[in-house]
Each structure stands twice: as structure tokens, then as C-alpha cells.
A and B are shown apart, each in its own frame.
Chain A
Amino acid sequence: MNRRIANVNGWTIGAVLIITLLFVPNLSIVTGIFTPASENWGHIREFMLLNYIKSSLTLVFFTAIFTVAIGLSLAWLIAQYDFPLRNFMKWSLILPLSIPPFIGAYTYHGILNYTGIIQKTLRNHFDVSVNQAYFDIMNVPGAIFIYTIFLYPYVYMITRIFLSNQAASLVESARTLGKGPMEIFLKVIVPISRISVIGGVSLVILEVLNDYGVVKYFGIQTFSTAIFQTWFGLGDLDSSIKLAACLMGIVIFILVIEWILRGGKKYSFSSTKLRPLPLVKLTGKKAALATAYTLVIFTIAFLIPVLQLLDWVVLTFGKVPMEEVLTYTKNSIIVAGTAASLIIFFSLVIGNFSRITKHKFAKILPKLTVLGYSIPGAVIAVAVVTTFIAIDRYLAPVYLFLGLDSELVLSVSLVMLISAYIIRFFAIGYNSIESGYTKIGTDFRDASRMLGVSSLRTFFKIDIPMMKGAIISGFILTFVDILKEIPLTLILRPFNYDTLATKAFQYASDEKIMEASQASLLIVGVSAIAIFVFNKLLGEGRE
């Protein structure tokens, strides 16, 4: 018997506990599948579901294709070649991730619409009136454009790290076999990046499926529209949870497809000697072309929206209360930083458990945590509130004993908000950490233990330092995502608590995009600094 117990170690206990905690609030949504349909269900099915799913799938399909095309080609260019501005682009191309898509949508519409800078200039200075149809971004193609430019960095970031670390020998052997760059890209880069591309694009897909801000403003009816129409409009939360559960089903379906596409397994590299991909220097026309391509993407996805926001900040300067900006910024950084750190820590525990436990359920169990990312934030918020109120009720005697004069303590504190972030964004951090573990394999860990070093010390001395890259990129992704998060923050924050995102939303939801520019720009600024700083750390770690 002792032998079996020896196998159930601290990692297992920790991982199972964390997974359970992350999963429990989602349970109320899962059970939503089984609640009997309300009288509205027939209406929902007839008039909403089918059409809405169709447009959701259209958005998902094209966004996926475009983000892969842009993300993968950029990753390859940056990982393989040296050209003017490459080092700047290497991290700048992640920056569009810092712009919340709904702010991006408002901004681009702001640029393109009748009173926007382009039409205004044409009309007032050149007396040119344009065909409005060419400037209308508020439609399905427009939404695909918005999602693509602000979400491609998921694919880019994950794939680039993979290529720079893993592709060296393959690319080099292809070159010695006399293959040209295009052939290498299609025959080597594309197939070997498959896993990381799929990892990145599945994040993109989940973001698109759950987004409500962009589609609501653009007047596109998607699956998340149906969920909110049912809740807010029909006042039928049960049916909307049922819909969310359906969405969860779709997501699980996508995950299964991802798993099948990966061939049901993950590779770990046969050699423990990781060698970075050496850069090929481009010259002349080719270099100019590479620089131009990255520059165009960067300009469209980041520079233009930021300049427009900057313009609006100047325009509304003094009109927007300034005194508390520092507090909002501080709040944003603290909650996002705390939640992202916890996510990474938990991911490390669960990832290690999954890696060292041979049992099948250790590979499947962590996948459950992705569910939090598969449901619209507002629906999770309901689940989280319910859970925390239950916890508070249970702890009421403790509060009384401690002399607190309230029944609700946790559920009116930041603990609830941070927990909700962890439930929601766990998948993003975990994705990154999991690929980090896959990359280093188990040999180093085994070697360390054979030297008499305990599992825990090995974790801190060997695994964590070797996974620096994965940890940093996981942290950036979650940090930036939390920074721009809206629905959870809005509903789960404590009294009198504002963040940059809630401030931006406050104005944007009231069609005051200009007033929203200040907070939006600060979100971008904080994210950019985080990306820059961590990229520096990452770069030094590599050398």
C-alpha cells in the first residue's frame, strides 16, 4: 500500500485541489445544460440560435485564417531573418495585444466615420465626398479585420518563441538539402509550428467567440449576443446559462479537434541540447520588403489606433477628471499583477503534476481549467458571485468571531475579483507553462533527482530557471489580458474601485470614445511597458 501512496505526492494533491477550485464555479454553468428549457427556449432556437451560430462561425473561421497567416509569417520572419528594425519589431509586434478589441473597434470607426480624420480632411480641405460604403467598418468583414489585427499576436508570440528555440537543426538540414526560403517555410516551418500555431489560434478563437463589445457596437449578431439578449433582454438568466453551456460544448469540441490535429500527443524534443536558430541576414530588396511588411502590420495594428487615441486625449484634455488617474492605474497594475502571478504559480504546479504523473487523467484533468476561458465573462461572474456568497455564508460564524460587522466579506473584497480572473484566464497562462514543460522534458528533472535533490527543490532550482521564457511569456499574456478585461471587473469589484478598463468602458459604453481615450491609452502604455521590460528579461535569459 505504501508504494501507491508514495506515488500520490504533493504535486498531485496541489494540482487536484487547484483544478477543483477553478472548476467548481463553472459547475453551475455545466449543470445549466440539464436544466429544463424555459418557455423562451423555443423562441431562442427559432429566431436566434441558428443565425447567430452562423455568424459566429464566420467570424471565427476567417479570423483564425488571417491571424494564422499574419502571426506565422511574422514569427518566421523574426525568428529566421535579420533585417532593419528587426529587434524593435520583435517585441513591438506583440503590442497590438494591449489594445482591447472593443476600444480598437471604436477607434477605427472613429477614424473612418463621417466625422473621422480621413473623411473630415477630404471634405474640408479637398472638397471630396466619399462613398460611405467604402468607409463602413461596422460589418462582418470589419469585425474580422478588428479581431485579426488585435489578436494575431497570440499566434505570433507563441510561434516565434517555438521557432527560435526549436527549429535550428531542421531548418539547417533543409537548407543543406538545397531548399529555398519559400520551400522551407511551406515544407518545414508550417508543419513543425503546427502545435504552437494551433495553441495560439485556439486562444484567438476563444476570444472571438466570447467577445461582446465589438459585435454589439457593430450590430452583428453572434452567439454571445444571443446569450446577453436572453439574459438582459428577455430577463431569462437560466436560458442564457443554458446557452453558455452550449458554447462550452462548442469549445470542448474545438479542443478535441485541436487534440486530434496534434495527433493525440505532444512531442518533446529528443535532445536536451537546445540551440537557438541562427539569424540569416537579409540585404537589399529582400531586407526592405521584410521591414516594410512588419512595418505595415505594426502601423495598422498599433500605431494608427494609438495616434488616434493620443489625438483624442489632447482634444479632451481638461474635460476628463484627471486627479484619480494614478489610482486607477495603480489598481489596474496591482490586480492584474497579482492575478497573473497566481495564475503562473498554479500553472506551474498543475503543469508539473501533469508532466510527472503517468496516469492518463493527469493529462486530461488540466484541460478542464480551460472551460473558464470558454464562457463569456459576465456569465462566469454570476457563477463566481454565487460561489463566494456561499463561502461567505459558511464563514459567517468566523466573521462574527473575528468581530467583523458584516456577513459578506470575501464577496465584497478583491479576493473575489482576483479569483474570477484566475478562473477566467487560467488557460492562457497554463498554455504557455505547459508548452514550457513540454520543451524541457523530464530528463533534467530526473538528473536532478538522481543527484539526491528533492522534487520541490528541483522545481525551484532546475525547472523554473529553465522555463524562464515560458513563465515570462505566460505572465505577459495573462497580465495584458487582465488589464483590458471588462465584464468581470465591472461586476465583481469592491465598492469605489475603478481600474483603467472600467474607466475606459464607462465612457465608451456611453458613446464617448474621445473621453475614453485617456484610460485606453494608459492601458496600452502599461501593457507596452510590461511587454518591453519582460522582453528585455527574456532576451538576456537567452543569450
Chain B
Amino acid sequence: MFIDIQNMSFSYSNSPANAVEDFTLTINKGEIISILGRSGSGKSTILRLIAGLEMPKGGSFSLGDKTLFNNHIFVQPEKRGIGMVFQDYALFPHMSVQDNVLFGLPKMSRSNKLKRVEEVLELVELEGYEKRYPHQLSGGQQQRVALARAIAPQPELILLDEPFSNLDTELLVKIREDLRRILKKANITAIFVTHNQNDAHVLADRIVKIKDGVIDQVGRPCDLLGSSTDEKGDIELLPEKELVSV
């Protein structure tokens, strides 16, 4: 198994109840997983736990042949080799597009770095935007820069937190397809969190439904959601913003 998560659980320090309980999941290389659930179901927390931004109460997690956490080990997020696209992208406002992408690249020659930036920007179809600053970009463009930035260091796994929540519908359809194309082309394993069934249906190879911090169902999109996308998915698209934890 490429990714092996066993019995991962988590609770916030201010509440005794587990926000995530016994989360167990294995993922193949190159697979795209969607974690689907209503807001407050604990799906974003699962993503943050995998990323290493929260410390789990118990369980284990390995990626390839590396153990990233178990009862004895906790690898800091920057050492995990996992990329992440944040819900509101978190593009560094004081850096240009190029600098944002450059920021995460490992040590190599400057010319190699620039080449890599060129590659990933081409992948997300943003050639020529190197010198722009985040606030000069549209929402869709920002999202693609965030994706390029996350892909650039060639992570073994990429996490996407509600990647489409800030996009308008027209843009959404295009970007959703682009994203799947890009991920598949680069053969990147991905986990993305969404509350929207359509997103999951179009993008995922497999869907994990979450309810109250516990896995409700796991399966292929067509098995779980039926063959066709219904309108319900889009209706559920509520503006969900979370208070950033302090």
C-alpha cells in the first residue's frame, strides 16, 4: 500500500470528545481520493492531521516506506514531503507568482529552479504570469498558482482543502477538469476535501464519506452517488468559511 492510515483519532484541547475517530484508509499511488462531508464533520481536520499541522491522539500513518506518525514518531509537516492547497490558497501576498512557486523548491541550481517554475506554470496554463502578484490575479488564477506551488517540489502526496469553494460556477467546471488532468498527467496521489458531491463525482477515483468524525462509507463515485450527478450537489455549495484556529 502506498499510503496506510490506521485508526487515526484526534480531539481538540478544549473538548474531550473526539473530533476524528478511528480513521482508517489505504490509498494506491496515483489515486485521487475525495473526502466528502458536511461542514463541521471533521473532514478538514483529517486533512490537517495527514499534513502534520495537527497532532493526532493516536493511530499511525505511513507514506511509501516512511512512517510519518505512530505512537512514537511524529514527523513535522515540513519533513513529510506532502503538498497542500489551502482553501483560500494562502498565496504569500508579498511575493510574485514566480517567488511563490520558487519558495518551496528544494536546493538546486537557480536555472533548474526557474525551469521547474516554468514547467509547473505551463502545467496550470499560467505562462507569462511570473511577475504578477497574488492580488493582481483572479480567483481561478490564484487557485492554479496555489496548485502549481504545491506541485512544484514534486510531493508524493498532495492535499486540497475545499479547492473550489471560492470559485464561481463557470470557472469551477473548467478548473475541476483541469485539475484532474494535471494530477493524472503528473501521476500525483491526491486527497481532497469537499462538501460538494459534484466535485467528488467528477474528480475522485474513490470517495470517503465522513459523518461526525467517523467514516460513513467508502466507495467508487458511481457506486456511492449514482451514475449521474444530480442538482443537489450544487445546491449544497454554501459559502463555508472556517474561523482559523488561534
Which B residues lie within 8 Å of A461 (CB)? Answer: 103
- Choose the segment among A19-27, A31-39, A77-85, A352-360 that binds chain B (4+ C-beta atoms closer than 8 Å): A352-360
Which A residues lie within 8 Å of B55 (CB)? Answer: 3, 7
Which B residues lie within 8 Å of A466 (CB)? Answer: 92-94
With both beta carbons as reference points, the residue of chain B lying nearest to A7 in the complex is identified as B55
Place the interface of chain A in its size category: 35 or more
A1 near B72 (CB under 8 angstroms)? yes
Cα distance, A75 to B104, chains bound together (Å): 39
Cα distance, A266 to B79, chains bound together (Å): 30
- B216-246 at interface with A (beta carbon < 8 Å): 241-246
B92 near A462 (CB under 8 angstroms)? yes
With both beta carbons as reference points, the residue of chain A lying nearest to B12 in the complex is identified as A358
Known A-B contacts A1-B72, A443-B86; A270 and B93 likewise in contact (beta carbons under 8 Å): no
Cα distance, A450 to B159, chains bound together (Å): 10
Does B4 sit at the interface, judged by CB under 8 A?
no
B71 near A3 (CB under 8 angstroms)? yes
- A360-379 at interface with B (beta carbon < 8 Å): 360
**Nearest Cβ distance between residue A270 and chain B, in whole angstroms?**
4
Interface residues contributed by chain B, number (CB under 8 Å): 39
Does A268 sit at the interface, judged by CB under 8 A?
yes
**Nearest Cβ distance between residue A539 and chain B, in whole angstroms?**
15
B245 near A442 (CB under 8 angstroms)? yes
Does A55 sit at the interface, judged by CB under 8 A?
no
- B97-122 at interface with A (beta carbon < 8 Å): 103-104, 106
Cα distance, A268 to B242, chains bound together (Å): 10
Does B186 sit at the interface, judged by CB under 8 A?
no
With both beta carbons as reference points, the residue of chain B lying nearest to A468 in the complex is identified as B94
A447 near B78 (CB under 8 angstroms)? no
Which B residues lie within 8 Å of A455 (CB)? Answer: 76, 78
Cα distance, A270 to B88, chains bound together (Å): 9
Give the A-B pair count, Cβ closer than 8 A.
Answer: 107
- Choose the segment among A174-182, A224-232, A271-279 that binds chain B (4+ C-beta atoms closer than 8 Å): A271-279
Known A-B contacts A2-B73, A465-B94; A446 and B78 likewise in contact (beta carbons under 8 Å): no
A270 near B241 (CB under 8 angstroms)? yes
Which A residues lie within 8 Å of B184 (CB)? Answer: none
Which of these, A3, A269, A355, A446, contacts B53 with CB under 8 Å? A446
With both beta carbons as reference points, the residue of chain A lying nearest to B146 in the complex is identified as A447
Which A residues lie within 8 Å of B43 (CB)? Answer: none
B84 near A450 (CB under 8 angstroms)? yes
Does A454 sit at the interface, judged by CB under 8 A?
yes
Task: List, sorted by A's number, 10 A–B pairs whose CB atoms are closer than 8 Å.
Answer: A269-B244, A273-B135, A441-B246, A444-B92, A447-B84, A449-B53, A450-B53, A450-B104, A451-B104, A452-B153
**Which residues of A pack against B, CB within 8 Å?**
1-3, 6-7, 265-275, 355, 358-360, 438, 441-444, 446-455, 458, 461-462, 465-466
**Which residues of B pack against A, CB within 8 Å?**
13, 51-53, 55, 69, 71-74, 76-79, 81-84, 86, 88-90, 92-94, 103-104, 106, 135, 149-150, 153, 159, 241-246
Can you add 20 more A-B contacts, CB < 8 Å, to A270-B243, A453-B103?
A: A1-B72, A3-B71, A6-B74, A6-B76, A265-B246, A270-B242, A271-B88, A275-B135, A443-B88, A443-B244, A446-B77, A447-B90, A448-B103, A449-B77, A450-B77, A450-B150, A451-B103, A451-B153, A453-B104, A466-B94
* 4 pairs of A and B residues whose beta carbons are closest in the complex: A451-B104, A447-B90, A450-B84, A3-B74
